[in-house]
Amino acid sequence: DADVTQTPRNRITKTGKRIMLECSQTKGHDRMYWYRQDPGLGLRLIYYSFDVKDINKGEISDGYSVSRQAQAKFSLSLESAIPNQTALYFCATSHQDSPGGPQHFGDGTRLSIL
């Protein structure tokens, strides 16, 4: 089984819908991250969390929210999806004893908003 699991792997939805992407990990890491990947732009950080009670905005948090339900679970929500949020989304984890990284990634969620 994968150490970092993202669900769903693929999702097609319509503009204005609320979407939730889920991430769970079995690595026992305390730090979790959400990124989006767009062609030619690499990965950009949306939100990150260093423990259950800690939530921080990344560089592109507008239009997104997150919830850290437990140490192992970190979900990303799009409150009202818009087409320019079509992208590949990645969850990642890291250990507090490796503060500079590296990070361990899930296989991604491909989200298409029509």
Partner 1 sequence: AQSVTQLGSHVSVSEGALVLLRCNYSSSVPPYLFWYVQYPNQGLQLLLKYTTGATLVKGINGFEAEFKKSETSFHLTKPSAHMSDAAEYFCAVSGGNQGGKLIFGQGTELSVKP
Q: How far is the CB of 65 from partner 1 (least distance, A)?
A: 19
| Span 63-92, contacts to partner 1 by CB under 8 A | 90, 92
Question: Would you give the distance in Å from CA 25 to the centre of its chain?
Answer: 12
Residue among 11, 22, 43, 71 that touches partner 1 (CB under 8 A): 43
Whether residue 76 contacts residue 20, with contact meaning beta carbons closer than 8 Å, is answered with: yes
Q: Give the residues across from 51 on adjacent strands.
A: 54
Of positions 14, 27, 44, 57, contacts partner 1 by CB under 8 A: 44
Interface region with partner 1, contact rule CB under 8 A, candidates 20-28, 43-51, 61-69, 71-79: 43-51
Q: What's the closest the beta carbon of residue 52 comes to partner 1, in angstroms?
A: 16
Span interacting with partner 1, options 14-22, 32-40, 67-75, 76-84, rule CB under 8 A: 32-40
Strand order in the sheet with 64-70: 4-7, 19-25, 73-78, 64-70
CA dihedral 76, 81, 86, 90 (to 10 degrees): 0
**Rounded to an integer, what distance in angstroms lies between the CA atom of residue 99 and that of residue 34?**
16
Interface residues with partner 1 (CB under 8 A) are: 4, 31, 33, 35, 40-45, 48, 50, 58, 90, 92, 94, 98-108
